[in-house]
Structure 1
Amino acid sequence: MKNQRRKFIQMGAMLGVGAAFMPLQFCAAPKKEGEVAVGEAVAKSKLESFGIQLYSVKEDMATDAQATMRALAGYGYKQLEGFDGGKGILWGMQPAEFKSLMSETGTSMVASHANVFENLDAQAAQAAEVGIKYLICPWIGAQKSLDDYKKIADQFNQMGETLKSHGLRFAYHNHDYSFVPQEGALGQDILMDNTDPALVDFEMDIYWVHVAGINPAEYLAKYPGRFRLCHVKDAEAGTGDPHERGVLLGAGEIPYADLIKQSKDMGMEYFIVEQERFPTGTPMEAAEANAKYLSALEY
């Protein structure tokens, strides 16, 4: 009995010594979102907030913009990205009315696509009044030469100066055309290399980069910190008409769990759903399904 008791005491002492020399990181608690203690299972993160480009539900917006935005907030969208649907970037609302709606729904209009080539000062003043952070050029079309892209880049710098004077940021949203090789280079590279990072940000449409045959993660790594916003939409596997490959998030081949983590490491701040093709269901049903996907997605 005494021998058993002696062995028990010796074992307890050994365990105590082992614990004393155990590396502290095995006991340390995670300190940041997504950070885990060594020796524990890797913890996953989720997006705290994400948005939707209102063009995804443009018919509903045209019918009743306020009811549509309330419904989107109910699906879990905390951020909205607008577009000029013919009623201006505030959809016919006065600034006070617009701000009241954002407060009521717990959402914010972080950006709006706009015709930045006309009345930019007036649009910027209106956007600033309601707290919009970005006005975004959504389209320039395929340019005939790389020099034409350079001229566009010069215009973007000027637009960035204008918006800066109003406390806003300028950004450009890509399609696939700027990722098509031209004269041995990419038009998108010309835009990136010839715009001032202090004045011009970019919104990566991940779908259009992907269907153009470019790896989105690799391109983000090539220009870290330049893409602050992105459009999140999925592409069905395979090849074919790029305009006909859009599917609901999670139903395609774009690895969003990896991409979200990688892009956040490269300075991405805003993740904005956009759906332009609806294989099944209505646009609002697609918006709800995409919100559920992003709410549950772990990265």
Structure 2
Amino acid sequence: MKYKRRKFIRTTGLMAAGSVVLPWWACQNNSSTEEANASGEHSDPSPDGNLGPFGIQLWTLRSEMDKDPKNVLRKVAEYGYKQVENYEGQQGLWWNMDHKEYKALCDELGLDLIASHCNFAENFEEKAAQAAEAGMKYLVAPWVGPQKKMDDFKRISDTFNQCGEICKKNGLRFAYHNHDYSFQELEGELPQDVMMQNTDPELVDFEMDIYWVVTAGADPIAWLKKYPGRWKLSHVKDRAKDAKPNARDASCILGQGSIDYGPILKTAKEVGMEYFIVEQEKYDGSTPFDSAKADAEFMKALVIDG
């Protein structure tokens, strides 16, 4: 079953009253106008590159996750991924498995279950407890959508702080994953600034989707330096060289696009980023599995200075 590109839920419970709407799975191509500390336990750096361990957002393989999530995990381990970032699909956060069974499978395959994108507006305390038992480091809000007023982003920031408190109580962290809309001006400010300035660094971290920063016309390195220590995770996703400015559906195999990842990830490491997570959403001339394999080879060979 294919996921629809626009699937939103109206928030209840955690979210303050307002017009905020959220989806319930990972970073779909729905943008503003569309869409253990990298533990070395399972992860030695490639002899060719020097980035170190890296992961994959399983949304990259969403069509295959629908069919056989266990096979997907086996495949990504074969390709050389050492970490995985899960997402909450129509089969739930644990893909019709018990959370302990999911963790056991990852352990068996040598995969560190770093994080999951999830619907943070429903049953979040239960999800946080299960994620902690499964050994996750993060639960991540994948999307909040463009808002009509900056006050909406301030209310969202308050909700993120609440989620961060719940995560902290359970021994993990909460983070927000950006799209392009948070880098587009609203009422003379940028929502990304407002969210970063109105969330407690002790409770909320940020996952930089580098593709979406570039798509918005912003500079990832400048944003990394502006908020050192706040960006703990990233989505490493390339952008087709022939893509029109601000084109959103332009994902491609790493190394075949226009984003120069060496200096970006060098800076990311310098300012405290811990997790480098591959994502690809479009597969022109390829397949999801073949693309994931090629992306892994790029990451193994990637050389960053320092």
Q: Which of 127, 134, 140 matches 1:136?
A: 140
The equivalent residue for 1:236 is: 240
Following the alignment from structure 1 to structure 2, what is the Cα–Cα distance between the partners of residues 133 and 92?
21
Q: Deviations over 1:50-92 (max 9, x none)?
A: 0000011011111110011001100000000001112222211
| Residues 1:95 and 2:99 aligned together | yes
The equivalent residue for 2:263 is: 258
Following the alignment from structure 2 to structure 1, what is the Cα–Cα distance between the partners of residues 237 and 247?
13
| Residues 1:188 and 2:192 aligned together | yes
Cα drift, residue 99 of structure 1: 2.4
Cα drift, residue 241 of structure 1: 5.2
The equivalent residue for 1:86 is: 90
Q: Which of 280, 289, 295 matches 1:290?
A: 295
| Residues 1:48 and 2:73 aligned together | no
Q: Deviations over 1:96-118 (max 9, x none)?
A: 32222112110011000000011
TM-score by length of 1: 0.83
Q: Secondary structure at the match of 2:93?
A: coil
Q: Which of 71, 95, 120 matches 2:124?
A: 120
Following the alignment from structure 2 to structure 1, what is the Cα–Cα distance between the partners of residues 205 and 67?
32
Deviates more, 1:263-272 or 1:98-107: 98-107
Following the alignment from structure 1 to structure 2, what is the Cα–Cα distance between the partners of residues 47 and 109?
19
Following the alignment from structure 1 to structure 2, what is the Cα–Cα distance between the partners of residues 155 and 83?
20
Following the alignment from structure 1 to structure 2, what is the Cα–Cα distance between the partners of residues 67 and 236?
29
Q: Secondary structure at the match of 1:202?
A: strand
The equivalent residue for 1:33 is: none
Q: Deviations over 1:100-159 (max 9, x none)?
A: 211211001100000001110011111111101100000000011111111110111111
The equivalent residue for 2:226 is: 222
Contact 2:58 2:86 in 1 (8 A): yes
| Residues 1:205 and 2:209 aligned together | yes
| Residues 1:166 and 2:170 aligned together | yes
Cα drift, residue 279 of structure 1: 1.4
Q: Percent identity?
A: 50
Match for 1:154: what amino acid?
A: D
Q: Secondary structure at the match of 1:73?
A: helix
The equivalent residue for 2:17 is: none
Unaligned runs of at least 5 residues, structure 2: 1-47
The equivalent residue for 1:18 is: none
Contact 2:240 2:251 in 1 (8 A): yes
Contact 2:215 2:248 in 1 (8 A): no
Q: Which of 181, 187, 190 matches 1:177?
A: 181
Following the alignment from structure 2 to structure 1, what is the Cα–Cα distance between the partners of residues 98 and 188?
48
Number of residues paired by the alignment? 257
Q: Secondary structure at the match of 2:248?
A: helix
Q: Which of 122, 130, 149 matches 1:145?
A: 149
User: Which structure is larger by alpha-carbon Rg, 1 or 2?
Assistant: 1
Query: 1 or 2 for the larger relative contact order (CA 8 Å, sep ≥6)?
Result: 2
The equivalent residue for 2:25 is: none
Q: Secondary structure at the match of 1:276?
A: coil
Q: Secondary structure at the match of 1:281?
A: coil
What is the alpha-carbon root mean square deviation over aligned residues? 1.4
Contact 2:233 2:274 in 1 (8 A): yes
Cα drift, residue 215 of structure 1: 0.4
Following the alignment from structure 1 to structure 2, what is the Cα–Cα distance between the partners of residues 129 and 257?
35
